Amino acid sequence: MSDPHPTDVLVIGSGAAGLTAALNLADRFRVTVLAKGRLDEGSTAWAQGGIAAVLEPGDTFDNHVEDTMVAGAGLNDRDVVEFVVERAPAAIERLAELGVPFNLAEDGGEGWHLTREGGHSHRRIVHVDDATGWAVQVALLRAAEAHPNITLVPDMVAVDLATSRHELRYSGAGNVWGVYAYNRTTAQVELYTARATVLATGGAGRTYLFSTAPRGATGDGIAMAWRAGARVSNMEFMQFHPTCLYNLEVKNFLITEAVRGEGGRLINPVTGKRFMPYYDADRLELAPRDVVARAIDAEIKRFGLDYVHLDISHRGPDFVKAHFPTIHAKLLGLGIDMTTGPIPVVPAQHYTCGGVVVDRDGRTDLPGLYAAGEVSQSGLHGANRLASNSLLECFVYGEAAAAHIAAQWDGLPPPPPIRAWDESRVTDSDEEVVIKQNWTEIRRFMWNYVGIVRTTKRLERAAHRIKMMQEEVADYYGHFRVTPDLIELRNLLQSAELIVRSALHRKESRGLHYTLDYPRTVEPPQDTVLIP
């Protein structure tokens, strides 16, 4: 165990939320940013869509608020939605100043090109082609690397928050003083201490067999905050994207909604029949995401399929290549020609709407601990996230947390002496196969039992499996040196438990939580809040 690394503010996560917080603090304070892998490996870089903001004449803040509330099935906190929506245009301006090359309006018009996405009543999505997240990640990283007060540390896997329980003199207070993190380069656990810690660790998508999330999205921040004593909310609301490529080599390649928009049909590979007419005769393949995802899920379960087919080959090769050059080229490299035959697709987990409970300043329940982005539950998304509101939340809350830390700085006590990580009583494991087996098992039963359509019986089966595995993993964790895989497995399992517990608690269907046992929606809407 090396000496502790002290800093003023510690940020865990190097995506949009973490880097926004760091850049807003660095003029006054020393900031250390830890990334789990490479600095650009988080979800931000993967975001294809864009950022929602009211920028079009005729559009209003009220419209954006209303669209967000409708998508969120009324579970959103209206004050929070207004707070975020009103700060969106300024956030876009700041990104443009940082050098994000947003697409300009076509035909020499003023301002940026705005697209429209599902659930939005106006064109209000600024974007950089179909790779907005990457452009944002590059601009934020460039600014952070250039700032003398920001230290960026890649390949650090957070293990647990350092709290008052880890002080040399034990304290029962719930303060957070930093984090213990595993250094992939030295294979040692190191201690980082700070007056304030910002969790910006992303979601828990990898609890599912199929997910569009990057490999590192294992719910680390949510699990660490929960173990440290913070409340977690609305974990049952997992957003699924209807059409992700089914391919055993390529784990998370999205087939954009636009393929269906341009006439793509969903076909059952066994019967050869188009099946959307049975589920939504009016809107067919262009029904909302949750409807299409549930329909595909129903076909897969009923016929015991691995995937369904998405076919646009009837539109002709020239049309397909002109409209979808990137997807066409990618699939061709995998031996699939979408101009002549169907694409195998499955729904995939896409976004974690729940998370660590935060207030308007990004504060969690624990003094010294803040959270921003997908790791948090701010009240913005409710029971279903509106398209392109996710990056927006990262900027607004990254900034809000930074502003609160700066304003309260004199009241934030410096960290007391914290105990070093102790591995004197553990040995190296020779059973990595146990971790791999458990990881695969969690993702499979979460997919089958806690997926798009749920029943109480399936949820109880999942809860039973989780309980057995928790004993096994706790025993393993107590006896062996930590590795990145073991850390992630422990967090995956904790996240899975929070998802299942929340889903069992909700006795209604609302937004992304759909259960055959309680198909109706119950008023008034209520958050599921779990207390450690």
Give catalytic residues, as residue numbers.
Answer: 289
298 alpha carbon, distance to own chain's centre: 25
Rounded distance between C-alpha atoms, residue 329 and residue 290, angstroms: 28
Strand partners of residue 376: 356
Question: Strands across the sheet with 238-245, in order?
Answer: 238-245, 343-352, 308-311, 265-267
Rounded distance between C-alpha atoms, residue 359 and residue 362, angstroms: 5
SS3 483: coil
Q: What angle do CA 416, 418, 420 make, to 5 degrees?
A: 160
Q: Determine contact, residues 513/503, Cβ cutoff 8 Å.
A: yes
Rounded distance between C-alpha atoms, residue 394 and residue 250, angstroms: 28
Question: Strands across the sheet with 369-371, in order?
Answer: 150-153, 31-34, 9-12, 196-199, 369-371
Minimal CA–CA distance to 54: which of 62, 43, 46?
62
Rounded distance between C-alpha atoms, residue 215 and residue 45, angstroms: 13
